[in-house]
């Protein structure tokens, strides 16, 4: 049998197309997981980057503003020293934050949601193109900078309870130790991914607990350890050297606080606009509340009272700013003005603690009220992440209360120990002669006024 020989030709174009197609399919099977993983990483958003950069600058201006706010209320012989306590805090905290502060506060959890690991020590393991763990549309560097500004103002706030009698050198050491031992763990617990209170569902949009209760309670601990100023409650030592400074400082605080609260949205989005609006509304309401309370009691409203009321409102709306509607912000602000005024004129004289510029009376009290009010007024239509008592979630109040008490107890205890140790090692308070002469000349060899 003769076998017929098959004779056919494969077109060369078809052959090459088949080879190239097969190689393409093989290559796609290798790289497709990479493309899929990359697709999960959100792209940087230039609008969000610009907003958080601007917010960081706004929050930075708050600390010099705080220096003026505090500086105007002390006696003229202490004005420079008081302002310098805020200014040097910018310097010390800025360095420590990069070296280890940020890593402890916002690094991956290392110990039960209260201490971050040292992964980001010195930021050596962080690149400028790395996406933030807290919002993937902005670089990590920007988030580091934004949170740095919060750390600075928080430490500086403590000085309001201690002015006119704390040694400058002791204050510098305190800023370093307190940032490390108190501020960073509280920030990790409340704001950190996997933080102790964060996992419990605590609501603190911009720092009612982390910033205000933390600093105010620390100020009270420091005031107790330092003791009262010479002649306190026996003579009229409240002789503000320049209330214009205080009004200027209060205005700068109000201005910068928009970055503080609205910037905490971390995006240029509707939540940021809501936080911006309620921040302004609560501040105005609190100034009115303080003014009315003072007017009723003493017969005249004072400019110092109005500015102090505005600051109380800024404090109280801070934790609630990303969760409440405008009507709730009016209530929060007005009540804050009345409560903080009552702390200053009734509670402080009764107990006799020398909270010199009312860091405890305004910040701890206002922060506590704001945190609890968040548990009452958190509106899911504003932010689906929060639902308060008045919107069907009574359990939120218990979470808020537990967070407030825990932060207050931890901050007071640790701050008291830190002040005591510094006092034993290097002395915390200036001597009586130095206090009488004034801290501008004795601590800095300068005078605030040369006429």
CATH code assigned at 55: 1.10.3430.10
Q: In this structure, what token pair is assigned to residue 418?
A: 């830190």
Q: Confirm whether 16 is domain-assigned.
A: no
Among candidate residues 93, 207, 114, 209, the one with its CA nearest the CA of residue 159: 93
Q: Confirm whether 187 is domain-assigned.
A: yes
Q: Confirm whether 17 is domain-assigned.
A: no
Beta strands 115-116 and 109-111: pairing type? antiparallel
Residue 4's contacts (CB-CB under 8 Å, 6 or more residues apart) are none
Please, which residues bridge with residue 166 across strands? Answer: 429
Min mean pLDDT across 47-51, 114-118, 284-288, 411-415 is at 114-118
pLDDT digits (tens, 9 = 90+) for 365-408: 999 999 999 999 999 999 999 999 999 999 999 999 999 999 99
User: Would you give the distance in Å from CA 13 to the centre of its chain?
Assistant: 68
Q: Please, are residues 309 and 286 in contact by the beta-carbon 8 Å criterion?
A: yes
Q: Confirm whether 423 is domain-assigned.
A: yes
Q: Confirm whether 25 is domain-assigned.
A: no
Q: Give the percent of the chain with pLDDT over 70.
A: 90
| Burial label, 228 (beta-carbon count in 10 A; 0-12, 13-18, 19+) | middle
Domain count, the chain: 1
Residue 315: pLDDT band with limits 50, 70, 90: very high
Rounded distance, CA 199 to CA 189, Å?
9
Q: Confirm whether 115 is domain-assigned.
A: yes
Residue 58: pLDDT band with limits 50, 70, 90: very high
Q: Please, are residues 147 and 368 in contact by the beta-carbon 8 Å criterion?
A: no
Residue 401's domain comprises: 50-444
Question: Does 102 have pLDDT greater than 60?
Answer: yes
Question: Does 64 have pLDDT greater than 50?
Answer: yes
Q: In this structure, what token pair is assigned to residue 321?
A: 């700013």
Residue 141's contacts (CB-CB under 8 Å, 6 or more residues apart) are 123, 126, 128, 130
Whole-structure pTM value: 0.90
Q: Confirm whether 10 is domain-assigned.
A: no
Q: Confirm whether 24 is domain-assigned.
A: no
Q: In this structure, what token pair is assigned to residue 80?
A: 């420079």
């Amino acid at each position: 049998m003769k076998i017929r020989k098959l004779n056919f030709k494969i077109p060369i174009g078809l052959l090459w197309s088949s080879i190239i197609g097969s190689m393409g399919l093989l290559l796609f099977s290798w790289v497709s997981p990479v493309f899929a993983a990359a697709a999960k990483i959100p792209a940087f958003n230039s609008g969000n980057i610009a907003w958080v950069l601007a917010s960081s600058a706004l929050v930075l201006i708050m600390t010099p503003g705080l220096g003026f706010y505090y500086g105007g209320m002390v006696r003229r012989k202490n004005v420079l020293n008081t302002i310098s306590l805020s200014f040097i805090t910018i310097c010390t905290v800025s360095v420590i934050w990069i070296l280890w502060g940020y890593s402890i506060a916002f690094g991956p959890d290392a110990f039960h949601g209260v201490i971050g690991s040292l992964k980001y020590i010195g930021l050596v393991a962080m690149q400028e193109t790395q996406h933030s763990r807290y919002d993937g549309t902005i670089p990590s560097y920007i988030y580091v900078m934004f949170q740095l500004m919060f750390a600075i103002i928080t430490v500086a706030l403590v000085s309001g309870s201690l002015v006119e009698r704390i040694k400058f050198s002791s204050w510098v050491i305190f800023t370093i130790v307190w940032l490390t031992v108190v501020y960073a763990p509280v920030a990790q617990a409340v704001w950190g991914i996997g933080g102790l209170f964060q996992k419990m569902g605590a609501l603190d949009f911009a720092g009612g607990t982390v910033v205000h209760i933390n600093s105010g309670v620390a100020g009270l601990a420091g005031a107790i350890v330092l003791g009262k100023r010479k002649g306190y409650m026996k003579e009229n030592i409240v002789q503000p050297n320049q209330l214009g400074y205080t009004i200027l400082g209060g205005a700068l605080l109000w201005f910068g606080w928009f970055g503080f609260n609205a910037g905490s949205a971390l995006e240029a989005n509707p939540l940021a606009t809501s936080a911006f609006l309620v921040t302004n509304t609560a501040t105005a309401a609190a100034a009115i509340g303080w003014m009315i309370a003072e007017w009723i009691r003493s017969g005249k409203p004072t400019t110092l009272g109005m500015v102090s009321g505005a600051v109380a409102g800024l404090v109280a709306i801070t934790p609630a700013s990303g969760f409440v509607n405008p009507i709730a912000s009016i209530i929060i602000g007005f009540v804050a003005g009345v409560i903080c005024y009552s702390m200053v004129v009734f509670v402080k004289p009764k107990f006799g603690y020398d909270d010199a510029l009312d860091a405890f009376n305004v910040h701890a009290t206002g922060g506590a009220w704001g945190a609890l009010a968040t548990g009452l007024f958190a509106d899911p239509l504003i932010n689906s992440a929060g639902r308060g008592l008045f919107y069907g979630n009574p359990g939120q109040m218990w979470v808020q209360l537990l967070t407030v008490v825990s932060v207050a107890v931890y901050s007071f205890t640790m701050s008291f120990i830190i002040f005591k140790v510094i006092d034993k090692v290097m002395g915390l308070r200036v001597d009586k002669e130095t206090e009488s002469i004034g801290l501008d000349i004795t601590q800095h060899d300068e005078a605030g006024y040369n006429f």
